[in-house]
Chains A and B, each alone.
Chain A
Amino acid sequence: MKLPTLREAATEARLLLIGIPVLIWTMIPIYHMFVFAISPKEDAFSGKLWPDHPTLHNFAIVFYQQHYFLRDFWVQFGNSALIAASAGALTLLIATAAAFSISRLRVPGGRIVLNLALFTYFIPAAFLAVPMYRTMGNYGLLNTSWSLILAMVTIASPYAIWVLKQASDKLPVELDEAAVMDGATSLQIFRLVYLPLMMPSLVAIGTYAVLLAWNEYLYAFLLLSNDRDITLPVALGNFLSADDSPWELLMTTGFIYALPPAAIYYAFRRYMVGGLTAGAVKS
């Protein structure tokens, strides 16, 4: 091993001088949450950087629902999971069909639909929330899982269609032509040619929609209100309304809630980075 020259060492030091603050900045809120989650109540409020007696007791309280605020934890966890999975599946179904129709079948008016979707994608979600809330009321869907699932599909599918359309434009048309020569119907092309080739983009979009729905707070808190209907983020928000909120339990629940999306993200990171950043901004 050769010793680094002075110049190389200086470069390395400069990089570290950027890297260390970046690491600290990134980790502080997450670390703080983690310290709370493993702190007994007395330690949590003493502002220690590491608890004197780290414990998993808080996790036990959450898992066994041994607190007033947590009595429906598993139901709410289930709601979150169900809504995220349904929104993901439905978004994939609708967006894939639409992208196939626009990009491969060249449906008349496809361009207009694509532009409408793109326009929807650019409406800030918080602006659509209030009218959406009233609309769900008019449809009689308030306080049902369907309201949140449909709202999430509405928000996720424009981007999904756009990314999938970009991706399917890249598939060679000769594939479709050859399949038509062999007498394949449109549906057979969709199922046997299109879907297998689009798999990486589909994984990316599915993950995107699932994470979007799992992480959603605003719509969930507007559309759902009964304790047994709400999703985990709404339950977390409800902690705040009490004056004597059990913050160590709130942070524990938050930590548990943050784990699945982080795990999913890292598991599919390969697809996400390639599939989404390519579509997110075309330079």
Chain B
Amino acid sequence: MAITISASDSAISGTPGAPRLSTPQVWGIVLIAPYLLVFLAFVLYPVGYGFWLARHPASYVALYHDPIFARAAVNTLIFLVIGINLKMLIALFLSGFFVQQRTWIRWLSVIFILPWAVPSIPTILSVRFMLNPEWGMVNQLIFRFTGEDGPNWLNDPAVALAMAIGVHIWKSLPFWTLILMTGRLAISLDLFEASDVDGANWWQKFRFITWPSMRPLYLTCTLLSMIWTLGDFNSVYLLTGGGPADLTHVLSTLGIRYLRLDELNLAMAAIVCAMPLVLPLVYFMMKRLSR
């Protein structure tokens, strides 16, 4: 162990009692210092500064009276509860599809990863224009086939939010499918062979073999995805811009809205309000990952 090295080093230097640092330990401190500096300057200081800005109770009163804030909180919950669970269920299903041994499925999996590999800005803007009521491809096709004008997609808050969730799912589904695939591939094939002998159907195989071994991974992924989705700024901001009438904001875009309105205190207070939601998730994830 590295510990034994340092122990023998201090034995050689032979100063009992005096807590002298051995050479490897000095190097250890030197090498870890750059990250500590980054952490202090760009994490600890901004976070502390942010909390300091958010200290006025008046900010929270103002937030409470801002209907946009309540709406954004509800939207965020919808995004997390419906969006993430839907995404993870699809990912769980598709991971079962992509582990099938077929050449064409392997090729499809290479294409399937594209949304994750390309930047989100151009593709979200592409969707945005596709949904344009006058010139967008979707409504043009609707007009061609039915002769009727299509709906004004992004002008209805509920539809616009659903579309933002759709964009989010489009973007991050490949990643979670990939992760869940590694979980599925880790299950011993013997179990499935034994269940075939016993005449189990696919649902029984899933219920009694796949799910029990996937459950911890699935839950970890769902929580992690929830935390990250709280910070998903692009899907909402670039697709709807928070509109129509600021009704599709989520917490991550709300901070930027207040910043634009030059209400920095409100921006920080809105983020502090999300902490009761974030911190338990973070705590739980840290317990899981730092085992």
Contacts and interface: CB of A to CB of B under 8 A. Distances in A.
Contact of B126 (A47, A95, A218, A254): A254
Nearest to A14: B97
B238 interface: yes
Contacts of A47: 135-137, 139-141, 144
A98 B35 CA distance: 7
B170 A25 contact: yes
Contacts of B29: 101, 107
Interface in B137-169: 137, 139-141, 144
The DSSP consensus for interface residues of chain A is helix
B120 interface: yes
Q: Name the interface size band of chain B.
A: 35 or more
B67 interface: no
B110 to A, nearest CB: 8
- Indicate the member of B3, B121, B289 with the most A CB atoms within 10 Å: B121
Contact of B31 (A105, A162, A269, A282): A105
A173 interface: yes
Contacts of B1: 106, 173
Contact of B125 (A19, A25, A240): A240
Contacts of B120: 215, 217
B244 interface: no
Contacts of B274: 127
A106 to B, nearest CB: 5
B121 A237 contact: yes
A266 to B, nearest CB: 7
Given A30-B118, A151-B42, A258-B123, A106 B28 contact: yes
A36 B123 CA distance: 12
A127 B278 contact: yes
Interface in B188-235: 216-217, 220-221, 224, 227-228, 230-234
Nearest to B112: A26
A124 B136 contact: no
Contacts of B186: 283
Interface stretch (A52-60, A62-70, A110-118, A197-205): A110-118
B233 A236 contact: no
B100 A105 contact: no
Contacts of A85: none
Nearest to B225: A281
B18 interface: no
Interface string A188-207: 00100000000000000000
Contacts of B267: 130
Given A262-B114, A283-B220, 16 more contacts: A25-B170, A29-B123, A32-B129, A36-B126, A45-B135, A47-B139, A47-B144, A101-B28, A105-B2, A123-B278, A124-B231, A130-B255, A131-B268, A237-B238, A258-B123, A261-B118
29 contacts: A29-B130, A47-B135, A97-B35, A98-B34, A102-B28, A113-B36, A114-B290, A124-B252, A125-B233, A131-B46, A132-B42, A133-B259, A134-B50, A135-B41, A138-B49, A150-B42, A153-B38, A154-B42, A173-B1, A176-B5, A185-B23, A222-B256, A236-B122, A253-B122, A254-B126, A258-B118, A258-B122, A281-B220, A283-B217
